[in-house]
Amino acid sequence: MKDTLSKIRETAIASCAAAKTVDEVENLRVQVLGRKGELTQILRTLGTMTPEERSEVGKLSNEIKTELEAALDARKADLEREVIGKKLSAEWIDVTLSGAQTTEPFERGHLHPISQFQYEIEDIFTSMGFDVLDGPEAETEHYNFEVLNIPKHHPARDMQDTFWTEDGNLLRTHTSAIQVRGMEKIKPPFRVIGPGRVFRYEATDASHENTFYQVEGMMVDKNISVANLIYFMKTLLREIFKREVKIRLRPGFFPFVEPGFELDINCLICGGEGCPVCKQSGWVELLPCGLVHPNVLRSGGINPDEYSGFAFGLGLNRLVMMRYGITDIRHFLSGDIRFLKQF
């Protein structure tokens, strides 16, 4: 019996030292000291032994039990400490480490030139009392065309072919889609701009992209005329180009404005003398605009006899290209880090 006991002890102590997880330690505890455990079974047979045997085996068993319990507890504590230690060293962060101490040269990223410019324009307009609106890039035909006075078979749709979803929605072709969405939310008088990404089904080349950026603008109040439009456009251009810019309006057709214009600026490169940039004309086409068509106001629940407004659509890519002398629109979405690093 003594031999059996010392075998149990030896094996248990060895297994305890070899246990790699807390679960293994606990299983061992059950296996030896549990209700059906090896040691417990022996203690159960004490009644069948002679008094001498009983006291000897009982004493030894209790000693082993105490020793084993201590060994199991100690191993368990060690393993628990090990787990915490591992976690601590794996998840340790030196919050005091500065970028300069890393071996890699530390490079801070920055906003894309289009975003930089968009925020600049938002600042200019908010300083003039405009709110900034957002609209969905995936639009309904209703907001992108119908309410803008471009019914289904209107030829103006040909100029703005886009990507359609199978359920009849589309990727918006212009930020003008925010016009009526805006009017449904805000009552006149109001001044809003809506910057965002737009899409066209387009063969790409140096001046055409299938994905580009616009800022829509709209002001509606009593007695808004072309004079208001000219004032805000001139202020905008002065802020962007940091100088007084001469402009001219030419007639332009867009179904959602009447009258509609193309706004040209006096060429900033040659000052109007004529150069390759302005194709010797002295003028550069900059942005389309006009007075909001009565039908569009009506679609937005506004009475055109009471209110009028102007609207414009600023091509962001175009302006950034003019500012930095970028010659190919495809650079913007190329993801080429050499291009982006320059801004």
Q: Which CB atom, from 196 or from 313, has the smaller least distance to ligand DAH?
A: 313
Q: Which CB atom, from 28 or from 320, has the smaller least distance to ligand DAH?
A: 320
Choose one: 59-67, 185-193, 243-251, 288-296; the region binding ligand DAH (CB under 6 A). 288-296
- Report the Cα 38 to chain-centroid distance in Å: 62
Measured distance CA(12)–CA(230) in Å, rounded: 93
Choose one: 37-45, 184-192, 286-294, 330-338; the region binding ligand DAH (CB under 6 A). 286-294
Question: Out of 224, 311, 319, 320, which residue is the one contacting ligand DAH (CB under 6 A)?
Answer: 311
Question: Out of 9, 75, 76, 174, which residue is the one contacting ligand DAH (CB under 6 A)?
Answer: 174
Asked if 288 interacts with ligand DAH (CB under 6 A), we say yes
Q: Which CB atom, from 68 or from 219, has the smaller least distance to ligand DAH?
A: 219
Choose one: 30-38, 94-102, 114-122, 308-316; the region binding ligand DAH (CB under 6 A). 308-316
Asked if 125 interacts with ligand DAH (CB under 6 A), we say no
CB of 213 to ligand DAH, least distance (A): 11
Asked if 195 interacts with ligand DAH (CB under 6 A), we say no
Asked if 212 interacts with ligand DAH (CB under 6 A), we say no
- Contact between 68 and 14 (Cβ < 8 Å): no
Considering only the C-alpha atoms of the chain, give the largest distance between any 2 of them, rounded to a whole number of Å.
125
Asked if 176 interacts with ligand DAH (CB under 6 A), we say yes
Choose one: 3-11, 233-241, 309-317, 319-327; the region binding ligand DAH (CB under 6 A). 309-317
CB of 312 to ligand DAH, least distance (A): 5
Task: Map the footprint of ligand DAH across residues 255-284, applying CB under 6 A.
Answer: 257, 260
Q: Which CB atom, from 139 or from 216, has the smaller least distance to ligand DAH?
A: 216
Asked if 326 interacts with ligand DAH (CB under 6 A), we say no
Contact code string over 134-173 relative to ligand DAH, x by CB under 6 A? ----------------------------------------
Choose one: 11-19, 134-142, 252-260, 324-332; the region binding ligand DAH (CB under 6 A). 252-260
Task: Map the footprint of ligand DAH across residues 24-63, applying CB under 6 A.
Answer: none
The long-range contacts involving 136-139, CB below 8 angstroms and separated by at least 24 positions, are 136/172, 137/171, 137/172, 137/196, 137/197, 137/198, 137/199, 138/165, 138/169, 138/170, 138/171, 138/172, 139/169, 139/170, 139/171, 139/172, 139/177
Nearest-CB residue to ligand DAH? 313
Asked if 254 interacts with ligand DAH (CB under 6 A), we say yes
Report cis status (omega within 30 of 0) of the bond before 288: no
CB of 177 to ligand DAH, least distance (A): 8
CB of 164 to ligand DAH, least distance (A): 18
Contact positions vs ligand DAH (CB under 6 A): 174, 176, 216, 254, 257, 260, 288-290, 311-313
